[in-house]
Chains A and B, each alone.
Chain A
Amino acid sequence: MRRIPPWIVYVLGALPFLWLVWRGVTGDLGVDPVKEVEHSLGLHALQFLVGGLVISPLRWITGINLIRYRRAVGLVAFAYAVLHVAVWLSLDIQFRWGEVWGDILRRPYITLGMLAFVMLIPLAATSNMASIRALGKRWVSLHRLVYAAVILGGIHFLLAVKAWPTEPLLYLGAGVILVVLRVTHRFLRWP
Chain B
Amino acid sequence: MRNDLKWSDVTPEGIWLNRRAVMAGVAGAALAPGLARAATDMTPNTFEEITNYNNYYEFGLDKSDPARNAQRLTIDPWSIQIDGLVDRPGTYDLADVMRMGPIEERIYRFRCVEAWSMVIPWNGFQLSHLLDRVGVQSSARYVAFETLYRPSEMREAGNILDWPYREGLRLDEARHPLTLMATGLYGKPMPKQNGAPIRLVVPWKYGFKSIKSIVRISLTADQPQTTWKQSNVREYGFYSNVNPNVNHPRWSQASERRIGGGLFNSRQDTLMFNGYGDQVAQMYAGQDLTRDF
Tell me whether B64 and A164 are in contact (CB under 8 A): no
Tell me whether A103 and B252 are in contact (CB under 8 A): yes
Q: Do A99 and B252 contact each other (CB < 8 Å), given the known contacts A34-B266, A91-B264?
A: yes
Q: Do A93 and B267 contact each other (CB < 8 Å), given the known contacts A109-B250, A163-B161?
A: yes
Tell me whether B249 and A30 are in contact (CB under 8 A): no
- Nearest B residue to A99, CB-CB: B252
Number of A-B contacts (CB under 8 A): 64
* Interface SS majority for chain B: loop
Any B CB within 8 A of the CB of A96 = yes
Q: Do A163 and B63 contact each other (CB < 8 Å), given the known contacts A103-B252, A107-B250?
A: no
Q: Which residues of A have CB within 8 Å of B161?
A: 163
Tell me whether A108 and B249 are in contact (CB under 8 A): yes
Tell me whether B63 and A165 are in contact (CB under 8 A): no
A95 → chain B closest CB, angstroms: 10
Any A CB within 8 A of the CB of B257 = yes
Q: Which residues of A have CB within 8 Å of B160?
A: 163-165
Any A CB within 8 A of the CB of B263 = yes
Q: Which of A31, A98, A165 is within 8 Å of B52, CB to CB?
A: A31
Q: Which residues of B have CB within 8 Å of A163?
A: 57, 61, 160-161, 231
A-B contact pairs, 7 of them (CB 8 A): A31-B259, A91-B266, A93-B267, A94-B264, A94-B266, A96-B267, A102-B254
- Nearest B residue to A39, CB-CB: B62
Known: A35-B116, A93-B252, A107-B249. 11 other contacts (CB 8 A): A30-B52, A31-B63, A33-B263, A34-B257, A94-B266, A94-B267, A102-B252, A103-B252, A162-B114, A163-B161, A165-B160
B260 → chain A closest CB, angstroms: 8
A13 to B264 Cα, complex, angstroms: 26
Q: Which residues of A have CB within 8 Å of B278?
A: none
Tell me whether A32 and B255 are in contact (CB under 8 A): no
A94 to B266 Cα, complex, angstroms: 9
- The A-contacting residues of B in range 53-81, CB under 8 angstroms, are 53, 57, 61, 63-64
Q: Which residues of A have CB within 8 Å of B266?
A: 34, 91, 94
A164 to B161 Cα, complex, angstroms: 9
Any A CB within 8 A of the CB of B222 = no
Tell me whether B250 and A159 are in contact (CB under 8 A): yes
A163 to B227 Cα, complex, angstroms: 11
Contact with B along A59-99 (1 / 0, CB 8 A): 00000000000000000000000000000000111101011
Q: Which residues of A have CB within 8 Å of B61?
A: 161, 163, 165
Q: Do A106 and B247 contact each other (CB < 8 Å), given the known contacts A32-B116, A93-B267, A163-B160?
A: yes
- The B-contacting residues of A in range 112-165, CB under 8 angstroms, are 159-165
Any A CB within 8 A of the CB of B132 = no
Any A CB within 8 A of the CB of B48 = yes
A99 to B250 Cα, complex, angstroms: 13
A33 to B64 Cα, complex, angstroms: 12
Contact with A along B257-277 (1 / 0, CB 8 A): 101100110110000000000
Tell me whether A31 and B249 are in contact (CB under 8 A): no
A32 → chain B closest CB, angstroms: 6
A163 to B267 Cα, complex, angstroms: 25
Q: Which residues of B have CB within 8 Å of A92?
A: 257, 267
Q: Which of A31, A103, A159 is within 8 Å of B53, CB to CB?
A: A31
Q: Which residues of A have CB within 8 Å of B259?
A: 31-32
Q: Which residues of A have CB within 8 Å of B93?
A: none
Q: Which residues of A have CB within 8 Å of B64?
A: 30-31
A68 → chain B closest CB, angstroms: 37
Tell me whether A31 and B257 are in contact (CB under 8 A): no
Any A CB within 8 A of the CB of B13 = no
- Nearest B residue to A87, CB-CB: B263
Tell me whether A107 and B252 are in contact (CB under 8 A): yes
Q: Which residues of B have CB within 8 Å of A30?
A: 52-53, 63-64
A31 to B257 Cα, complex, angstroms: 12
Q: Which residues of B have CB within 8 Å of A93?
A: 252, 267
- Nearest A residue to B48, CB-CB: A31
Q: Which residues of B have CB within 8 Å of A35?
A: 116, 257
A87 → chain B closest CB, angstroms: 10
Q: Which residues of B have CB within 8 Å of A107?
A: 249-252
- Nearest A residue to B260, CB-CB: A31
A109 to B254 Cα, complex, angstroms: 17
Any A CB within 8 A of the CB of B87 = no
